[in-house]
Amino acid sequence: MPQEAALDIILKLIADNLGYEVKIAPLPPGGGISIQIQSGRNDGSTLDKQRQNRTLTMLFLAKNRDQQSAYTRLCSIGNLLSKTADFPTSDDVQILSAAVSTETGLIDKVGDQWIYSMVIDVKIAF
């Protein structure tokens, strides 16, 4: 599935360039980074319906005891994805671009852990 392939490319790019493990799951109790796929949108298709264009909306969450670490990790992810001009490709999908649509912001402090969020829109074609 193209959407799943795009997500795999994004997660591998983050791991390879920043060393962060991002989980497709709720935030772990002990802290970490997770991603949730939000409602995206269909950006249309070619007249012959040979190519579909979509925008995937990805919600990144970071949880850490150190407030600056949670914030910095999400900013690093946003900067990496926004600056990447040539994304890796797969047979299933081409990532056209990624842009931060909601900057890193504080959600809450739960116990002794800070939680931050950031939304990135990823445009794909398949």
| 3-state SS string for 62-85 | EEECCHHHHHHHHHHHHHHHHHCC
Cβ-contact 121, 103 below 8 angstroms: no
Tell me if the pTM is above 0.85: yes
Cα(31)–Cα(113) distance, integer angstroms:
7
CATH of domain 2-125: 3.30.2000.30
Which DSSP category does 48 fall into? T
Residue 48 has pLDDT above 70, yes or no: no
Residue 49 has pLDDT above 70, yes or no: no
- Indicate the domain borders of the chain: 2-125
Please give the pLDDT value at position 28. 87
